[in-house]
């Protein structure tokens, strides 16, 4: 039977399967080319803006003026292009079914190249991932693929972009699965591997097969070195924590500033970066040449300590002030400097023979990557891929796991997710992503009337008099600002607060759910709530999509359990009929 004789839905599915493979290859090529172009654009921008021997005035003027311009672009045209791009890609994958507007991808490319090229201490890998994913998403939608297919193109393109940007195809696959999808057992392994390999072939055919770092041969000289690597893991964890906490605090500060100031915030960062560049031009941009020097024992102890501190400060300022650029390469830079410094100290004082400082710089890169990015498997494979030396795996795993554990203990939410939380975006956890029959969005009452917070308590009592609920949401234009219980309102009336505004007796500390959370969590949270459980959007925690009350839950279960029993009986009957009919057929 040819595919034309199949029903329409089946034909469409066949068509989608056929197209998907071809699209995977084409998108990987395009994402890889975009990543290579992005790297070239950053280099070209730096060359044009700074020339060969920049003066102090140029160091200050270039980042300030360019950041002001990118600040305008980011505020006016590309608001989703700020920052790394990895958290935004994750959010698009989990919350928007992989939809990333083409404009965002374009904006990220332009603003990212300008921000990093003008001297901001940021990485190119995160933006490459977002640009690649944006291209994939746009193409998927252009081909009218199903939302699930468009969604699955996002990690595929992310792997391709990272593979081309960092020249480590295996680590790119792991990063896409571990960080973007959040599930190493994802069904997308085949496509991501294909994408990663395709992109790296494209990248090498243009740039040549040059490794991103010249890594010296690694060796574990003495077993006692493992203790030193464990200590390096602790240091890596501390540096990761300092970076994560510092970045989140400074970003929170910038976010608290008035909204009109977002236009100028990148330029403020630009001024500070300019001042830093006058004294420490080594922190300019991606900075891989200095990582390379640390790996090859070409830097002094004092230089490495100072560069570690300055890069940490510079990256925090660049990122927190709202510029476009990632934290992937800064995390490697910090680790290389910290590790190299440890290596030199150990080399001088250890009572046993040790490897040169380059080996410690290499492991240090892994520790900060594991501590900041929180992708420990990616980290191990990335360094393994850079060295192509099996000997490094054991010390690397010891150091990475220690750094990861310290970072997780004192900063429970991973940095990418914490950055999303600051934007009121909350990604579903693994439990939420598990298959479930009913979710909060199936149970909730889709619309709810929010009581304006400045309504007097007496008026509010009149509004809710005809309702049965024991608690009510406050807010305006669909955005909640708190919750108030009926009991609290009645008590306020008794104590003579009838004319007081409602927000005085409300609380903004209340339990809520996301639409994709499963039934068991609904029951558990409802039991602890005052009787009303708001269901809020993951993209904006203040946006109320609906509410769940005890009464609504009982109604829903009554209806659906009856339906499911009927359905189950129907299925059973059909199956039995099938079984009975099959021999006859």
Partner 1 sequence: METQETRRALRTDILRLLALTGCAVALFFVTRAIFARQRSLEIREAARWYEVGESQLREGEIASATRSLRKAIRDDPNNRKYAIRLADALADAGHNTEAIEALSRLRESDPEDASLNLHLARLAAKDNDVSDAIHYYENALYGRWTGGQVDARQRDTRIELIQFLLSQHEHQRALSELLILDGELPQSADAQNQAAELFLEANDLPRAFKHFEQAAHLDPQDVDALTGAGEASFRLGDYRTARHFLEAAVKRGEPDPKTVRDLSVAKTILRSDPFAPHISPAERERRTLSIFDLSLRRLQACAEQHDVDAQLQALRAQAVAIQPKLSPNAVLQNPEMTTTALELVSEMERATNATCGGAQPADDAMLLIARLHGGAE
- Per CB under 8 A, residues contacting partner 1 are 4, 8, 11-12, 15, 19, 22-23, 26, 29-30, 33, 36-37, 40, 43-44, 47, 52, 139, 142-143, 202, 206-207, 210, 214, 216, 289, 296-298
Which CB sits closer to partner 1, 44 or 147?
Answer: 44
Pick 134 or 237: Cβ nearer partner 1: 134
Rounded distance, CA 243 to CA 266, Å? 19
Give the three-class secondary structure for 237: helix
| Residue with smaller CB distance to partner 1, 358 or 482 | 358
Q: Which is nearer to partner 1, 298 or 468 (CB)?
A: 298
Write out 460-520 in H/E/C secondary structure: HHHHHCCCCCCEEEEEECCEEEEEEEHHHHHHHHHCCCCCCEHHHHCECCCCCECCCCEHH
Q: Which of 68, 73, 57, 172 is nearest to 120 (CA)?
A: 68
Per the document, the length of the chain is 585
Tokens at residue 381, please? 């494979």
Give the tokens for residue 201: 């072939």
Taking the complex as a whole, how short is the minimal distance between the CB of residue 8 and partner 1, in angstroms?
A: 5
**Comparison of 37 and 479: residue with beta carbon closer to partner 1:** 37
Beta strand pairing call for 471-476 and 544-549: unpaired
Residue closer to partner 1 by CB (options 216, 452) is 216
**Smallest separation (angstroms) from partner 1 to the CB of 18:** 9
Q: How far is the CB of 516 from partner 1 (least distance, A)?
A: 32
The CA-atom distances, in angstroms, between 261 and each of 272, 322, 455 are 16, 11, 32
Closer by beta carbon to partner 1, 388 or else 467: 388
- Shortest Å distance, C-beta 189 to partner 1: 24
Q: Give the nearest distance from C-beta 146 to partner 1 in angstroms.
A: 14
* 3 state SS of 386: helix
Closer of 72 and 106 to partner 1 (Cβ): 106
Give the nearer residue to partner 1 in terms of CB position, either 184 or 206: 206
Alpha-carbon distance values, 525 to 440, 520, 533 (Å): 11, 9, 8
Contacts of 32 (CB under 8 A, 6+ apart): 132, 160, 161, 163, 164, 198, 199, 200, 202, 203
At its nearest, how many Å lie between partner 1 and the CB of residue 317? 26
- Taking the CA atoms of 381, 386, 390 and 391 in sequence, report the sign of the dihedral they define: negative
11 vs 488, which CB is nearer to partner 1?
Answer: 11
Q: Output 204 or 539, the one with its CB closest to partner 1.
A: 204
Q: Tell me whether residue 23 or residue 341 sits nearer to partner 1 (CB atom).
A: 23
- Nearest approach in angstroms of CB 34 to partner 1 is 8
- 198 three-class SS: helix
Shortest separation between residue 346's beta carbon and partner 1, angstroms = 18
Task: Give me the phi and psi of 487, to 5 degrees please.
Answer: -60, -40
CA 362, CA 189: separation in Å to the nearest integer?
Answer: 28
CB of residue 217 to partner 1, shortest distance in Å: 9
Q: Which residues contact 296 (CB under 8 A, 6 or more apart)?
A: 214, 216, 358
The Cα–Cα gap between 288 and 12 comes to 47
Quickly tell me which residue has 């004092």 as its tokens: 302
Under a CB-based contact definition with an 8 Å cutoff, are residues 307 and 337 in contact? yes
- Report the nearest approach of partner 1 to the CB of residue 219 (Å): 15
How many CB atoms neighbour CB 299 within 10 A? Answer: 25
CB of 325 to partner 1, least distance (A): 20
Cα dihedral sign, 79-82-85-90: negative
Tell me the closest approach of the beta carbon of residue 583 to partner 1, in angstroms. 34
Please tell me the distance from the alpha carbon of residue 120 to that of residue 100, in angstroms, as a whole number: 25
Q: Who contacts 367 (Cβ-Cβ below 8 Å, separation ≥6)?
A: 232, 233, 235, 236, 237, 239, 240, 335, 338, 339, 379, 399, 400, 402, 403
Cβ proximity to partner 1: between 15 and 409 the closer is 15
Strand locations in 350-493 (E): 471-476, 479-485
Give me the least distance between CB of 296 and partner 1, in Å please. 6
């Amino acid at each position: 039977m040819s595919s034309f004789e199949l029903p329409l839905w089946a034909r469409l599915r066949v068509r989608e399967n056929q197209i998907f493979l071809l699209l995977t290859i084409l998108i990987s090529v395009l994402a890889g080319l975009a990543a290579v172009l992005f790297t070239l654009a950053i280099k070209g921008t730096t060359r044009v803006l700074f020339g060969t021997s920049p003066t102090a005035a140029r160091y200050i003027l270039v980042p300030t003026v360019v950041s002001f311009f990118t600040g305008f672009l980011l505020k006016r045209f590309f608001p989703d292009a700020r920052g790394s791009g990895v958290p935004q890609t994750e959010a698009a994958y989990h919350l928007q079914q992989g939809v990333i507007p083409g404009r965002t991808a374009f904006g990220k490319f332009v603003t990212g190249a300008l921000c990093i090229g003008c001297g901001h201490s940021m990485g190119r890998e995160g933006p490459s991932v977002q640009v690649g994913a944006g291209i994939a998403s746009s193409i998927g939608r252009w081909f009218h693929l199903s939302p699930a297919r468009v969604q699955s193109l996002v990690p595929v393109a992310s792997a391709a972009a990272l593979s081309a940007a960092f020249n480590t195809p295996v680590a790119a696959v792991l990063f896409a699965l571990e960080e973007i999808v959040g599930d190493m057992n994802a069904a997308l392994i085949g496509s991501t591997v294909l994408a990663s390999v395709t992109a790296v072939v494209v990248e090498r055919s243009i740039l040549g097969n040059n490794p991103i770092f010249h890594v010296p041969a690694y060796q574990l000289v003495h077993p006692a070195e493992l203790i030193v690597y464990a200590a390096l893991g602790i240091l890596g964890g501390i540096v990761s924590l300092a970076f994560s906490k510092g970045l989140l605090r400074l970003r929170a500060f910038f976010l608290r500033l008035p909204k009109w100031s977002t236009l100028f915030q990148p330029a403020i960062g630009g001024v500070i970066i300019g001042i830093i560049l006058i004294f420490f031009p080594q922190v300019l941009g991606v900075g891989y040449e200095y990582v390379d020097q640390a790996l090859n024992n070409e830097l002094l102890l004092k230089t490495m300590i100072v560069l570690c501190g300055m890069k940490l400060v510079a990256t925090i300022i660049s990122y927190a002030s709202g510029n476009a650029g990632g934290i992937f390469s800064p995390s490697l830079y910090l680790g290389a400097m910290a590790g190299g410094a440890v290596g030199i100290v150990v080399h001088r004082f250890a009572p046993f023979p040790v490897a040169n400082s380059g080996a410690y710089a290499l492991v240090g890169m892994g520790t900060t990557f594991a501590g900041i990015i929180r992708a420990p498997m990616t980290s191990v494979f990335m360094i393994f891929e850079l060295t192509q030396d099996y000997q490094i795996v054991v010390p690397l795993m010891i150091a990475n796991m220690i750094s990861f554990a310290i970072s997780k203990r004192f900063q429970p939410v991973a940095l990418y997710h914490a950055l999303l939380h600051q934007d009121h975006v909350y990604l579903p956890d693994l439990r939420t992503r598990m298959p479930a029959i009913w979710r909060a969005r199936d149970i909730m009452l889709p619309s709810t009337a929010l009581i304006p917070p400045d309504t007097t308590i007496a008026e509010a009592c009149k509004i809710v008099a005809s309702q049965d609920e024991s608690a009510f949401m406050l807010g305006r234009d669909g955005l909640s600002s708190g919750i108030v219980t009926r009991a609290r309102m009645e008590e306020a009336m008794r104590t003579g607060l009838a004319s007081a505004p409602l927000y005085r007796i409300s609380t903004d500390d209340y339990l809520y759910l996301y639409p994709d959370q499963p039934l068991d969590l609904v029951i558990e949270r409802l039991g602890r709530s005052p009787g009303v459980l708001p269901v809020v959007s993951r993209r904006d925690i203040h946006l109320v999509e609906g509410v769940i009350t005890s009464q609504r839950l009982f109604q829903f279960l009554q209806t659906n359990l009856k339906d499911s029993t009927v359905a189950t009986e129907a299925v059973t009957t059909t199956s039995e009929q099938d079984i009975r009919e099959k021999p006859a057929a």
